[in-house]
Structure 1
Amino acid sequence: MAVTQAPATRPAPAPGAPAKTPVKSPPRPVSVPGRVRLLTGLSLGALALMLGSVVLGALVAGAGVDDIGRDAGPQALATTGLYRNMSEMDALAAESLLQGRERGPEQADLELYDQRRRQIAEALLGAHELALDNTAEKNTITSLIEGLGRYERLASQARLLDRQSQHAPGPPPDDVVAVYQRATDLMHKELLPQAYNLTLESGTIVRRAYEDARSSATLANGAVALTGVLTLALLVVLQVYLTRRYRRVFNPMLLGATALVAVGLIGGAALLNSQDSALQAAKQDSFDEVLVLSRARAISNSLHGDQIRSLIDPERRDTYNHTFFDKSQSLVYIEAKSLGDYQAGLNGAFDDFVGLLGTTLVGQDRVKVFTAFQRFQQSDSQLRASDVRGGIAVFQQAAKADYAAYDQTMETLAKRHEVDFNRAIDSGAGALEALWRWVPAALVLAGALVLAGVRPRLKEYR
């Protein structure tokens, strides 16, 4: 009879003996296809990051170009023109009262007056769009609109009274002067300061937009450089691994992808830098110059208005002479204690004058503007040395024309800088267009080449 043997059992561990831990099997080594897939995935991931950096940089740069060149910049210049046009409106109103019955207000250049009024309305509209959520700036614009309405009523009343008086050329009757004094006080004590503050706010918006664009562009350039170098390094590692593991020559698809990434890195960085340089040229070399010249023209126009007002309002002549002197000093500063000393001292001040124009102009531009300003001041000196009737004659025959020539010189210079500004903006936009057109396409094609180069090697393991 067969005896069935019971299965052997392990003896139970002694009480208190430590339990044996199971022995872990060593980790399985990563296979060659796994390493290829890992390197390929890292390369494609880095390529995607590079593409994202390029696209993000292009978007940021494009926003900067639009802000400075198409939006905030032109609207800021429009608000600068607001001050100048408002000053000219008041000067034109004063000039119409000066003519008397020989050339009454109804025959004055009311078309130019209306043109300036339309330009003011357009500037206020542009400033309102630029203000966005800036409540204080919008309140200033609303106040300007309301104040200009009051000024229009007073100026119209002064012209009506002047037309009814039929006075000879020269200072109008006292009742006309009284109404005009209220109008010009409103303009210079309330409206023009508000317009100047609006100009400063608009300039600040442009400066902040420019600084944000430059800062973002610097970060974008750094991101493109970092991800580009990382992508190139991973592609080289992948290429070397495939070459050594498969004992073959370099993979032509990966070589093509590496070349495209290198081209994308160099081209993308170059185009972003070109856009950044164009933005810098537009802001610092052109926009700032136009802004300064526009402010100088605005002050000069107000200065010319003081010249006219001193003729129609003898009671305030000393006040207007003093403001004329102060504004002249702000444009071209030289040491002088009175207007007469100042105008006499301009003859030898070309080399060392400062002020708004002195810190801006160089070379032939400095010569042209200073010469025109000096000629205008000389005719003003003749005007102030004459009696009222003689002063009006000097104004009509010399001072008015000299001021027009001086203003035209600055306007020509400002327009030249505006052309340079638009050219720089177009250059930046062109660089961005080239970046959008070529760099993303090159990087996408590089990704396709990586996949095409790796796929045959992976097939060998199926």
Structure 2
Amino acid sequence: MVAPPGGSPGPGQRGGSRTAGPGPGLRLWQRTEAARAALRRRYWATVPARLRLLRAATVLLTAGLVTLLLVAGLAALGTWSSVADRDAPRTTSAADLNLALNDMDAQAANILLSSGDAGKGRLQTPYTKAVGFYGDARREIGHDLRTLAVAAQGSKADENTVESLTDDFAEYQELIGRALENDGHHGGKPAALADYRRATDLLRTQLLPAASNLVSSNDAAFEVEYSSARSTLSAQLTAGLALGVLLLAVLGVLQWYLARSFRRILNPGVLAATVCTLLAVILGSEMLSASADHLRVARHDAFDSVVALSRARAIAYDANADESRYLLDPERRDQYEASFLAKSQELYGLKGATLSTYDSELATTWKAYRADHRDLRFTGEFRRELDNITFPGERTAAEKTVDTYAVYQRDDRKIRALLTAGKEREAVEFCMDWQPGTSNAHFEAWMAALDKVTAINQSHYASNVSAGRAAVNDLLPWAGSALLAAMALTVLGARPRLVEFR
């Protein structure tokens, strides 16, 4: 057999040894690496790619900070609207209802006590004032019930409470109306007193507990809203500062890269963007921190005192009514005397004190407090207020309230002493008259002092609500505008350098 010319392989060598090409795995890896290299060249490996990446990061961070501040600002405004238009009004309406119920019952007792026998022997001035105050209290209750009915929508428990209050109040009015009608008849005092007893029992067992529960539930709902809002503001402030610092860092890197790559000291556009961003971070942080601070002052420094003082006023009216009930109803005098002492303890609590020792212990503990404000040997609503002194003039007004309260307490002992001495007519006149030096005149002075403290706290509550809203309305537009300007300046500052590579 002749070999193939040129050394060509024979038939037996066909399909023999051959260099193998790359496998599928190797080809995939090569394509991936090629794609990565292309991405690096496009997005990072070249100068324009790095500039575009830094510009995009700046724009995205700026947009994120704008969005955060906008959301935070709108949420803060929503919180202020809830506080001013819902949470606080429904709490104060419940407190006002509690006060008006006590006042209405007190004035009903005063009418019966001063009316005489079908007008004979009537104490004209006390009777006329009691009739007027009774009508005012009844109208106030109607208004408060309507307000609370609207505020209770969405809370089944509160809706049921307000509905029950409305029904019970209708029954209470019917009983009082019957008592006043019977009192207008000659010899009708016993029947009138029986109806009044039923009415005041309904008040004590049904109306007042329900009204007090509304105060507590609405105040608790306000506290939940406050805590949630404060927590959200704190989180937003932290997030805003973090985003702001990151944005400033990226702008710093962009400025450094431009200076390094193009042999220039500063890029005016990026420098201006950095200044705008810094201004926006400062304004945004101030907006959020100011909102949180104003919310704290409005809620705890001011409104907590408003609630405590509103409770104190309602208790005061109920205690004053107990004096009238004590004179009106001989069969229940022990009950009303104990009730008066219990309410006194709620206002200015003295452990173990009785009516015979209360005045001296009040004088001793109050003198100790005036000498050293850390010497607090008493409890109650007055203590709650004195523990929360915050605003100019508040301490002086609060101390004046306790001073006038002490005078009123001494009047109560005089009323009981006159009655014990058999001078019932004198006791009634001293209790109900409005002449200077009488119990009602001193009670009015006490309420005026209490109202002054309340007004101080209400004023600061309102001013902090207004300032909280203003902080958002005034600072948010400037912060947002500064960030939008920073975004535009960053794009404009980088644009001339990118054009050089086209």
Work out whether the TM-score is over 0.5. Answer: yes
The code of the aligned residue for 1:140 comes to T
Q: Distance in 1 between matches of 2:16 and 2:413?
A: 121
Q: Give the count of matched residue pairs.
A: 448
Aligned counterpart, 1:229: 245
* Structure-2 change in CA distance of 1:42 and 1:12 (3 Å): farther
User: What is the deviation of 1:184?
Assistant: 0.7
The yes-or-no answer on 1:364 pairing with 2:396 is yes
The answer as to whether partners of 2:319 and 2:343 remain within 8 angstroms in 1 is: yes
Q: Deviations over 1:155-207 (max 9, x none)?
A: 11111111112x6xxxx721111011011111111100000001100100110
The percentage of counterpart residues that share the same residue type is 30
Question: Aligned residue for 1:89?
Answer: 104
- Structural mapping, 1:264-279, within 5 Å: 264-279=280-295
What CA distance in whole angstroms lies between the structure 2 residues aligned with 1:90 and 1:303?
Answer: 11
Shift of 1:360: 1.7
Deviation at 1:45, TM superposition (A): 0.3
Relative distance call for 1:12 and 1:250 in structure 2 (3 A) is farther
Q: Once the 2 structures are TM-superposed, how far is the Cα of residue 296 of structure 1 from its aligned partner? A: 0.6
The more displaced of 150-159 and 62-71 is: 62-71
SS at match of 1:132: coil
2:47 alignment counterpart: 32
1:133 corresponds to which of 151, 154, 168: 154
Residues 32 and 13 of structure 1: CA distance in aligned 2, closer, same or farther (over 3 Å): farther
Look up the equivalent residue of 1:152 and give its one-letter code.
Q
1:28-427 equivalences in 2 (<5 Å):
28=38, 29=41, 30-99=45-114, 100=116, 101=119, 102-103=122-123, 107-165=128-186, 173-350=189-366, 351=369, 352-361=377-386, 363-387=395-419, 388-397=424-433, 398-427=438-467
| Mapped contact 2:90–2:148 kept (Cα < 8 A) | yes
Q: Is the 8 A contact 2:323 2:336 kept in 1?
A: yes
1:37 is aligned with what amino acid?
A: R
> Residues 106 and 407 of structure 1: is their aligned pair in 2 closer, same or farther, counting only changes over 3 Å?
closer
Distance 1:158 1:365 in 2: 40
Q: Could you say what the CA RMSD is over the residues aligned between the two structures, in angstroms? A: 2.2
* Distance across 2 between alignment mates of 1:434 and 1:374: 48
Q: Which runs of 5+ in 2 are unaligned?
A: 1-7, 9-13, 370-376, 390-394
Aligned to 2:3: none
Letter in 1 for 2:302: S
Contact kept in structure 1, 2:398 and 2:450, CA below 8 Å? no
Q: Distance in 1 between matches of 2:22 and 2:262?
A: 48
Any stretches of 5+ residues in structure 1 without a counterpart? 1-5
The residue type equivalent to 1:427 in the other structure is A
What letter matches 1:386 in structure 2?
L
Query: How far did residue 248 of structure 1 move?
Result: 2.2
Q: Aligned AA for 1:73?
A: A
Deviation at 1:64, TM superposition (A): 2.1
- Residue 390 (structure 1) shift: 2.4
Counterpart code for 1:358: R
Tell me how far apart the structure 2 counterparts of residues 13 and 68 of structure 1 sit (CA, whole Å).
91
Please say if residues 56 and 220 of structure 1, whose CA atoms lie closer than 8 Å, have aligned partners that are also in contact. no
Larger mean CA deviation between 99-108 and 59-68 belongs to 99-108
Give the match's secondary structure for 1:354: coil
Asked if the contact 1:333–1:354 (Cα under 8 Å) also holds between the matched residues in 2, the reply is yes
* Contact kept in structure 2, 1:335 and 1:342, CA below 8 Å: no
Quick one: structure 1 residues 97 and 140, their matched pair in 2 at CA, closer, same or farther if it must change by over 3 Å?
same
| In 1: Cα distance, 2:102 partner to 2:15 partner | 108
Distance 1:428 1:60 in 2: 12
Deviation, structure 1 residue 250: 1.3
After TM superposition, give the deviation of residue 110 of structure 1 in Å.
3.2
How far residue 210 of structure 1 moved from its aligned partner, in angstroms, is 0.6
Question: CA, structure 1 residues 107+366, in 2 after alignment: closer, same or farther (shift >3 Å)?
Answer: closer
Q: Aligned partners of 2:236, 2:462: CA distance in 1, in Å?
A: 24
Distance 1:294 1:420 in 2: 16
Task: Provide the C-alpha distance between the structure 1 equivalents of 2:290 and 2:354, rounded to a whole number of angstroms.
Answer: 50
C-alpha distance in structure 2 between counterparts of 1:375 and 1:202, whole Å: 34
Question: 2:110–2:432: 8 Å Cα contact kept in structure 1?
Answer: no
Which range moves more in the overlay, 310-319 or 364-373?
A: 364-373
Checking the alignment, whether the CA contact within 8 Å between 2:110 and 2:130 is kept in structure 1 is no
Aligned to 1:3: none
Q: Is the 8 A contact 1:60 1:216 kept in 2?
A: no
Structure 1 residue 356 displacement after superposition:
1.7
CA offset at residue 272 of structure 1? 1.4
Deviation, structure 1 residue 153:
0.8
| Alpha-carbon offset, residue 14 of structure 1 | 5.0
Q: Which moved more, 1:327-336 or 1:351-360?
A: 351-360
Residues 292 and 356 in structure 1, CA contact (< 8 A), matched pair in contact too: yes
Q: What one-letter code is carried by the residue in structure 2 that aligns with 1:229?
A: V
Whole-angstrom CA distance in 2 between matches of 1:320 and 1:13? 121
Distance 1:222 1:180 in 2: 61
Amino acid in structure 1 at the alignment position of 2:414: Q
Residues 254 and 453 in structure 1, CA contact (< 8 A), matched pair in contact too: yes
The 1:106–1:372 alpha-carbon spacing in structure 2 relative to 1, beyond 3 Å, is closer
Q: Report the CA distance shift for 1:12/1:229 in structure 2 as closer, same or farther (over 3 A).
A: farther
Aligned equivalents of 2:431, 2:382: Cα separation in 1: 24
Contact between 2:280 and 2:479, CA under 8 Å: does it hold in 1?
Answer: yes
TM-score (norm 1): 0.92
